[in-house]
Structure 1
Amino acid sequence: MKKRKLLPLVFIGIMTSGQVGINTPSPKATVDIVAKNTDGSLPEGILVPKLTGDVLFTASTLGTYGSNQNGVIVFVTQPASNANQIGQTVQIDEVGFYYFDAGQNRWKKLGSSSNIYNSDGTLSSTRHVIMDGNNLGFTGGRIGMGTSSPDPSAILDLTSTTLGLLPPRMTKVQMDAIQNPLYGLVVFCTDCFGANKGCLMINDSVAPTTPNWGSLCSTNVATGIIDDLQCANATTSGALHSGIIVSGVTTTIPYSGGHNGTHFAGNFNSTGVTGLVAHINDGFISDGNGSLVFEITGIPSGAGTASFNITVGEKTCTFTVDVDDFTASVTSIDCGNGVFSPASIIQGQSYTGTLTIPYTGGNGDSYPQQQFSQNGLTFTLPAGTLATGNGNFIYTISGIPTSALTMSIPISFGNVSCNVSTVVTTAGGGSVVTMCMGNNTTKVWMAHNLGADTSLDPDIPIKQIHGNYYQWGSSTIVADADTPAGAISGWDAAFYAPDLSWNGSGNENAPMKTANDPCPSGFRVPTRNEWGALRNNSTVSKTGSFTNSASNFGSALIYTCGNNKITLPATGGRSINNGSLENRGLGGGYSSSTAIDNTNAYGHNFNLLSGEIFPARSDKKTNGQPVRCIQE
Structure 2
Amino acid sequence: MILRKRLSDLFILVLLLVGCSVLAQNQLKIGTNANNISGSAVLELESETRGFLPPRMTHSQKTDISSPAAGLIVWCTNCGTNGEMQVYNGVGWINFSSTVPGAPTGAVATAGNTQASVAFTAPASNGGSAITGYTVTSSPSGFTATGASSPLTVTGLTNGTSYTFSVVATNAVGNSVASAASVAVTPRTVPDAPTGAVATASNTQASVAFTAPASNGGSAITGYTVTSSPSGFTATGASSPLTVTGLTNGTSYTFSVIATNAVGNSVASGASAAVLVSTCSANVGGTLKEFLCYNLGVTGTQDPLSYQGGANNGTLYQWGRQTDGHEVRTSTSQAGPVSAPVAGKFITNGSSPNDWRNPQDNTLWLDASKTANDPCPPRFRVPTQAQWGGLFSDGLTSGAPGTATRNTWTWTGNGFTVGSKLYLPAASYRTVLSAALGNVGSDGFYWSSTVNGANAYYLYFTSGNVFPGYSAYRGSGFSVRCISE
Which range, TM-score by smaller chain? 0.3 to 0.5
Instruction: Give the structure-2-normalised TM-score.
Output: 0.40
Greater fraction of residues in strand: 1
Which has more radius of gyration? 2
- Between 1 and 2, higher relative CO (CA 8 Å, sep ≥ 6) is seen in 2
